[in-house]
Amino acid sequence: MTAIVPPYLLARIAAIGEPRFPRAADAARATLAVSREYRPVRKRLVLSIEEPGTLVAETSPAPDRVVSDAQNRERLPGVRVRGEDDPPTGDESVDEAFDGLGATFDFWWEAFARTGIDGDNAPLLATVHFGRDYDNAFWNGERMVFGDGDGEVFTGFTNSLTVIAHELAHGVTEHAGGLVYDGQSGALNESISDVFGVLAEQHLRGQTADEADWLVGAEIFTQAVQGVALRSLKAPGTAYDDDVLGKDPQPAHMRDFVKTTDDNGGVHINSGIPNHAFYLAATALGGHAWERAGLVWYRTLTSGILSKTATFAEFARATLDTATAEYGEESEEVAAVRTGWTDVGVIDDGTGRAG
């Protein structure tokens, strides 16, 4: 089960008796205790029969969004409060979730001609106001679920497009064949979601790779926290450094790979390495990062060539193969992807051999 706030961060908040964040400690303990049922969505089979000679209008696909309100209970889906043709509700969380789902849908379609999470325009479902002071947002295989935060460490999660797009990207990974949520394949699973989370935001803002901040969850901390975001693709390990939360533990290079049994083998920690490889490739190419580097990552994810237990080195080789097929062996795209993986220590030299 994926969630944007890693368990080690919640555990640290819960364990420290800190008068600065008394409500947050209780909220973190309660958040860790909540059971989240995983509900994988079955792919729909849609049959369309047209009469001979029928003219069918071709239009751009549109999202099918439904936002529900859990009313601070821990039950899903909650009460339906806004559908695709409904006006804004005035509830900030509802309307932010609705807009974030739409921006993510537009990103997938306009960048990669993908219609929604499953590629078949399945409804985009979300539930807001989950639990009381719930300090997380997660994808349960069926819908996005948002807590409101505790107000001391976390402000809430619907105001961050990188959070929304990150969690929805887990659904795309599932429909593409999946990556086992443990060890290096699990860290790749997390990294891919971080990559498409920041790309969705850059797409909405029309930013180039050089203009973007490359931060995941930049809006979810309160001003009391010494930090700018949950994670940074530009500089893993620098997103926060707080007396209570501790220091961002993400490495940016394989020499600092963290061996741990916590967090499913460090999936939220070691994802910093492939995250940084993508950042290096995207900024080397310049322009809009989703157009070339993003396309290589997307094609690699959806090609069907990845093992469910892919290591960093196997994924790196796959991205190089994809870039070669897309742009040619001598292209700057292949060179940028190779350099990205070399500079983070996943590939051992400039030839593309895995280290």
Domain range for 95 is 2-343
Residue 334 structure tokens: 């292949």
Q: In sequence order, which residues have a C-beta less than 8 Å from that of residue 23 and are 6 or more positions away?
A: 133, 150, 151, 152
Task: State the pLDDT at residue 210.
Answer: 98
Whole-angstrom CA distances from 93 to 8, 89, 124, 306 are 26, 10, 16, 36
Largest CA distance in the chain: 73
Q: In sequence order, which residues have a C-beta less than 8 Å from that of residue 173 and are 6 or more positions away?
A: 179, 189, 192, 193, 301
User: Does 72 fall in a domain?
Assistant: yes
Task: State the pLDDT at residue 36.
Answer: 55
Task: State the pLDDT at residue 15.
Answer: 86
Residue in 220, 156, 214, 167 with CA at minimum distance from that of residue 193: 167
User: For this structure, is 167 an active site residue?
Assistant: yes
Residue in 237, 201, 205 with CA at minimum distance from that of residue 219: 201
Task: State the pLDDT at residue 59.
Answer: 62
Whole-angstrom CA distances from 86 to 80, 90, 145, 164, 246 are 11, 12, 20, 20, 43
From 142, 167, 174, 190, the catalytic residue: 167
Alpha-carbon distance of 41 to 140, in angstroms, equals 9
The count of structural domains within the chain is 1
User: Does 295 fall in a domain?
Assistant: yes
Task: State the pLDDT at residue 34.
Answer: 86
The CATH number of the domain where 74 resides is what?
Answer: 1.10.390.10
User: For this structure, is 253 an active site residue?
Assistant: no
User: Does 354 fall in a domain?
Assistant: no
CA atoms within 13 A on the CB side of 159: 13
Task: State the pLDDT at residue 50.
Answer: 43
**Cβ–Cβ under 8 Å, residues 195 and 216:** no
pTM above 0.75, yes or no: yes
Question: pLDDT tens digits, the chain, 355 residues: what are they?
Answer: 689 999 999 999 998 765 677 889 899 999 998 865 555 544 433 334 445 444 444 467 999 999 999 999 999 999 999 999 999 999 999 999 999 999 999 999 999 999 999 999 999 999 999 999 999 999 999 999 999 999 999 999 999 999 999 999 999 999 999 999 999 999 999 999 999 999 999 999 999 999 999 999 999 999 999 999 999 999 999 999 998 899 999 999 999 999 999 999 999 999 999 999 999 999 999 999 999 999 999 999 999 999 999 999 999 999 999 999 999 999 999 999 999 999 999 998 655 454 4
From 166, 268, 276, 288, the catalytic residue: 268
User: Does 121 fall in a domain?
Assistant: yes
User: Does 355 fall in a domain?
Assistant: no
